[in-house]
Structure 1
Amino acid sequence: MGRLFNGVKSGFRTLNIRPSGEVRVNLNDKFELNQSYTFTHYQSNYESTEFNSQTLNYHDARSEVIYRLGQHWVWEKQLDYRYNPNAVPGLLQSYYKWNAAASQISYH
């Protein structure tokens, strides 16, 4: 496969490895705990020296808790974490994203 950029054509190869693992626990639909982790390795190699070959590694983790109070209330939270040691200057190497919700369920 070739790529044409600014009049320079070059073949390239990419390698993407993305193993992941997940654990889920559900206790009688009252309490749920979900944990996951993914490691990503991406590598691109170009035949021409006009293009920069690159390697990128990053880590993703997610934690989710769902708790049901009685028959009408649900509380849930989710925490995502990403770590990218290859981040360019000016971007964060790691960050968290947190979401939470409380819901009331009514049956008619």
Structure 2
Amino acid sequence: MKSGFRTLNIRPSGEVRVNLNDKFELNQSYTFTHYHSNYESTEFNNQTLNYHDACSEVIYRFGQHWVWETQLDYRYNPNAVPGLLQSYYKWNAAASQISYH
């Protein structure tokens, strides 16, 4: 089955970044996504999807060779099908030693 279709994807976002002398960084971002598809054939269902993404990141550099960073991502999808999570968090963290001179 073939069908023509149209899609609309709107994705506004905002971001705030603070950097204090490359010793401390704080980054925040938020994105809202609206997706709509419209099919010519009635064999396919039109879809409208909305979801939200937020991200927080902290980076701390101490001494000359150490970096600690962490990032927390959040996604909310009110259109999730039964059995899938509507929202979830993902957390990453690292401590690094930089060995260049």
TM-score by length of 2: 0.95
- Please identify the structure whose Cα radius of gyration is greater: 1
Q: Where in structure 1 are there 5+ consecutive unaligned residues?
A: 1-7
- Paired with 1:9 and 1:106, the residues of 2 have a C-alpha distance of 58
Q: Aligned Cα RMSD in Å?
A: 1.0
Deviation at 1:106?
2.2
Identity %: 94
Q: Which of 31, 34, 48 does residue 41 from structure 1 map onto?
A: 34
The offset of 1:85, in angstroms, is 0.2
Describe the superposition over 1:47-88 as per-residue Cα deviations: whole angstroms up to 9, x where unpaired: 221110001100001111000111121100000000000000
* CA distance in structure 2 between the aligned counterparts of 1:37 and 1:11, rounded to whole angstroms: 33
1:99 aligns with 2:92: yes
Equivalent residue number for residue 5 of structure 1: none
Alpha-carbon separation, structure 2, partners of 1:100 and 1:71: 19
Structure 2 CA distance, aligned partners of 1:88 and 1:49? 21
Q: Deviations for 1:27-62, whole angstroms, at most 9, x for unmatched residues?
A: 011000011110000000112211100011000011
Q: Which whole-Å CA distance do the structure 2 matches of 1:107 and 1:17 have between them?
A: 43
Aligned with residue 63 of structure 2, among 65, 70, 73:
70
Q: Compute the displacement of 1:10 (Å).
A: 2.3
CA change 1:103–1:11 in 2 (3 A) is same
C-alpha separation in 2, matches of 1:29 and 1:19: 28
Q: Quote the Cα distance in structure 1 between the aligned partners of 2:67 and 2:3.
A: 55
